Every structure is written in C-alpha cells, then in structure tokens.
Structure 1
C-alpha cells in the first residue's frame, strides 16, 4: 500500500491542495527533467535526428502501460484533448445516423466537436441528464444514457468519470450498448487516466483522449490520443513532415512522401517531439507506472473513506460507492450552507478545491494526507453550524 508521497512534491506545508482535477503539482523529478531539458535547448547542435523520434516511442510505450494497451503505435501525442477529438470528428462516417449521445454537463471540449458535427450533418444531440431528486442517482443516470442509444446513434461521447462531480460511468456497459447499435464510443479520460484503472483491452473504446497535466502529473500542453482500427485510414487535421513514412531519413525529406506512418502515427500533432514537454511527461509516467494506478486509486479511497459519513451527517450528498470514483469526490452541499461563505473560508484556510454550482469537487492524490481532509472537514462543519 502506498504511503503519503508529499515529500516528492514542492507543496508548501500550510497548503491543503485538494484540487488535482484542476491541475497537478509537479513532482520534483518532473521539474528537474524540465530544467535539464530547457538547458539542453541552449546547445541544439547536440540534438541529433533520433531525438525527434526515439523519446516519443518511449513515451507512447509508457502511456500504453498505464492503459494496458498492447500496441503503442495506436497512440498519438497531442497538445490537448480537443485536438484528439478534432481528429475523430473529422473522420466520422455518418452513414445515415441521426443522433449523438452525451451526458449532461460534459466538459466543453467534449461537446463543441460534436456540436459542430451535428450542425454540419443535421444530427440531434441527445443530452442525458441525471435525476437529481431521487436515490440511486448514478445508477439511473447510467441506465438513462444506455437507453438513449439506439439504431440511429452515431456515437456516445463521455468521460470515465464526470469531470464536475466524479460520477463514474459504466464504460463496459456503454461499449455493449454501442456495439448493439453500431455506434462509436469516444472517451475523454482526462479526469481519470492515471488515477482510476482503465483497461483498453476490456473497454475497447473507438477513441480515447487524455490531457497530461492532471492525473498523469505531466506539463501543460501535452496529452495522448488512442485510435482504434476504425481510424487507421483517416485523414489527420494537419499535415506535418514527421507523420509521413520514412521521415526519420532527414536527407530525403525533400522527396515528398504521400504515405503516412501506420496506425495512429498519422494523427501526431506537429512538433510532438517537444524537447521540454516530452522528458517531463516521460518522467511523470515512469513514476505513475512505478506506483501503479490501482494503488493510487486505493490511496484516495483510504484517505476519504472515514470522512464520508461525517459529510453526510451535516446533510451533504455523496454518490453511492458503485457509481463514484475515489480520487474525484463530488460533495453536494445542503441548502442551508452558504456556498460563497464556504469558498471564502476554504481560501482563508489554504484549502484548495473546485466549486461547481452548489457542490465541492475534492480531488485527492498521493501527496494528500489526513491533515488535508481534517482541514476540509473543519471548514465544512464550522459553516454548517453557522
């Protein structure tokens, strides 16, 4: 079992950072990798052609290990989740389909691409809302999403967990429903990959996108996209030299090549070889793989478990265990607690969380401890008593 890893980070002692879903702090090792990388750019004559390709191969192999993917060449490096989704949106075969299904409150980057597709092809966007006022919210929301998929559904786009409150979606059940109706399953793993186990060989999404700066502990501006065989012959949203066959042969780059590299390599963003972000991201992934994702999830579960009944005792609502994750906990506050007062009190006590509507999003990781949760609880309890 993992122990607290706060000593591997540069978080100030008085700070209670419970907001990894917003942005992860740098590991000291990741920061150092960045420093070394920045210095290396001062001597570009030491950067040889292999430096454009070999580190990327290693990086994709490390990410493949995180998601249990056998063929790392099905991964493309992207600057953002929206970039990866844009490649999906540009390579869809509408084939008479009439609707797109998404959960309500989807993160904007996983909505706008489908909004454009819907407008361009006159499709309906089916937004499936949770039933907030009844029990078994997570279960019923999952069932409603499955019920919304029919023979006219082009795709279902969702996260593994809902970014705003941590509700967990049953991706295996979604995959089965999509298969029954020949619909695509497009997953945004930005708020789960690296903290919640994800087995791509079991879930089999048609595409998976993920940013690097949250649960993967990487820098801002680098992420990953997985594409299944459905996209093997697609057209990338940009053309760059490195995605073409034999691009490693610098002396022959002037001999233009019409053929792309195989699998997802055609979708690699320009300048993916970023000599600063890549070594930082690789260092972060090596640490995650050393810890193992299941252990990270278990650490968060052990951290929050003894506080759940306390939160409920003051009227807070928390999703049932089966339909929530442990690293991203949505705490919906009762009506008598002033959310603005809570926000001010949290800030005054150096407790960092995200507030979404009348809910607090608590995102824990390996650097958090009972001290952080104690401080959060004390602020909530004090405001409850007012």
Structure 2
C-alpha cells in the first residue's frame, strides 16, 4: 500500500476528532463529502457523470455487485488471467458451482521479448461467442504487464460480453479513461495508487448496471434518504445509476474525506506526469538489470510505476531477499517476480541502490 500524504493524514485526524462532538455533524455532512469524492474520481478516470460512481469498502465488494448483476447462463465463459489478484478471481470461480459457467484462465507466456504481446493476443483469441465476461486488471499486479483494454473491449463487445476491470494496481499512477476504453465496470481499492486509506474504494458502473440490484440494502441508497424526518416512511425505490451500489455508511466521516483529498492531489499531479517521473528514475536501473541477464517486460508493455524482475537461473532468491532486506529496501515478492513499485516519493538514487543488490 502507498504511504499517506501529510494532507490526507491531517484530514483523517481532524475528522476522527469530530465524532467526539457528534452534534457538530449535520444532515448535509452525510452527503456533501460523498459528492466531492465522486466528482473528483469522475475527473480522474474521465467518466461521464458522478452518478456512475459508487463508494465501496473493497475490491471484493465492487466485484460482488458486478457478479450479482450479470445474467449468467450455464456454459457462459469468464476470462481471467493467471495469478491476477484474488479479489478479482474467487467470486468468478464460485460461479462455476452456482451457475455452471466456465472460468478460463489465460496463462502467462514463457519469458521472452514478446511476452506481453503474446499474452494480449491469447486473451483476444480466447474471447468467443460464449464469453460473458472478461475480468482483468489494467496492469498485472505481479509484474506490471500492460493489457490492451481497448482492443479487448472491442472484441468482448462483439460477443455482447462485459469488461470488468480491477484498476487498483494502476488508477492514480497511470492514465485511465472510461471515455476511451468504455468498460462496464472499473473497481479500485483506495489504499494503493489512489494514495488513500485502507477499507475504502471507488467503482465506476456503466449503463448496463444502472437498473441492477445492489448486494445490500442500506438507508442511503434509497430515494429520499436526504430527508431524515421522512425516513420512517420507507421508500423501496433505489437511487439512480451507480449510487445504488454505495456501501452502507458510505458517508464515512474519516475515510471518505481522506480519499477525496488524496485524489485532489492526483488531479494536480496528473497520472501521466507520475508515469513520466517513474520512467525517469527507473530507466538507468532497469537497463543495468537487463544487461546483467534479468528479465523485465519491455517499457512499452508495462507500467513505469510497477514492474517485475525475473531472475536468471543461476541466482538464488533467498540470498537476494536477505541482501535487499539488509539495505532496508522494501519490495514485494509475487509469484516468480520481484515486484518494484516506485512513485513520486522515490528517487533515482534509491533505484540504483536497489540494483546494487542484484549485481
């Protein structure tokens, strides 16, 4: 997870204290900060309308709403990737038991210069008339491999299927345009590249979900909830578009303004600039690793904010782990990849210090 911006931390502390004087929290406060968060996320992902955005507690929650509102039939196929994040896998796999669908996992090709291209081609070639859903990330969480979502969307649309994207590993650090890609859903945990706190996220749900049934009925996702006096008179009509998928207590007076503040900063920095900065501090370090026999996906086919290092056969991973730890460097180990996730808080010198552990 990302470190927290000082401004985000300050807002969290200030809002934590508000609960000590609950009479200072007004009726309007239950809705005002939610609107700010949705407006900012709408700008970040170039979505058409803040009402296409839902506030969620986790990726698994966002995926569950999508799963519950896609009309699956026995024999329908769902496409996922090898070793993608579990929260975008388990729910789809459960459908095999419940609905008799088939989950097709597209494995990563062997290490080679055209690995990413071959992986994308394999996805496209697997999409057929039976494909009901493609559920993948923008970049793979283990090694940053980039997937051509626009081409994948065009192909799956021909089968009248759905494109469900877990954007947690990229949105905020890498440009993403709903207007360009046209996904049916984009689901993001807030704790990573959105630079927000844990246990809150945001999701975009396209028009095919706007008349759906949420996985929970809470008082706030029903029409008329702004009128507290009238809450005793139940209104069973759900709010329009994606607002119906808001988690209960989405007003969260601590986490919601924190995530909103984090996205405000990202809008100022711009994800494209973050990518360029990461590229500038990575380039020399990555070239050195490549020259010494390590494999890293080609720059055009991965994120600059997240990349995986694959070891030559003659390198011992445990020895390398000890060396990296002794230098007080934090990386992740995902499958066979050593995952490096730099951002604006890193420097070129830090990347070169990491590389010194490998050489």
Partner in structure 1 of residue 327 of structure 2:
349
CA contact (8 A) 1:100 1:118 kept: no
- The partner residue of 1:331 within 305, 309, 325 is 309
Partner in structure 2 of residue 215 of structure 1:
193
How far does residue 182 in structure 1 lie from its aligned partner after superposition? 1.1
Partner in structure 1 of residue 227 of structure 2:
249
CA contact (8 A) 2:142 2:335 kept: no
Pairwise mapping of residues 39-188 of structure 1 onto structure 2 (< 5 A)?
Answer: 39-95=17-73, 98-188=76-166
Partner in structure 2 of residue 4 of structure 1:
none
CA RMSD of aligned residues (A): 1.0
CA contact (8 A) 1:339 1:358 kept: no
4+ long deviations beyond 4 Å: none
Q: Distance in 1 between matches of 2:290 and 2:326?
A: 24
How far does residue 95 in structure 1 lie from its aligned partner after superposition? 4.9
- After superposition, the C-alpha distances for 1:337-356 in whole angstroms (9 at most, x for unaligned) are 11111111111111000012
> Looking at both structures, which has the greater relative contact order when contacts are Cα pairs under 8 Å and sequence separation is at least 6?
1
How far does residue 143 in structure 1 lie from its aligned partner after superposition? 0.3
Partner in structure 2 of residue 311 of structure 1:
289
Partner in structure 1 of residue 272 of structure 2:
294
Q: Distance in 2 between matches of 1:320 and 1:60?
A: 35
How far does residue 135 in structure 1 lie from its aligned partner after superposition? 3.3
Q: What is the number of equivalent residue pairs in this alignment?
A: 359
Provide the TM-score with structure 1 as the length reference.
Answer: 0.91
- The answer to whether residue 247 in structure 2 is matched with residue 269 in structure 1 is yes
Q: Distance in 2 between matches of 1:322 and 1:117?
A: 35
Describe the SS at the equivalent of 1:125.
Answer: strand
How far does residue 118 in structure 1 lie from its aligned partner after superposition? 2.2
Contiguous gaps of at least 5 residues in structure 1: 1-22, 382-386
Contiguous gaps of at least 5 residues in structure 2: none
- The answer to whether residue 204 in structure 2 is matched with residue 226 in structure 1 is yes
- The answer to whether residue 349 in structure 2 is matched with residue 371 in structure 1 is yes
Q: Distance in 2 between matches of 1:226 and 1:332?
A: 34
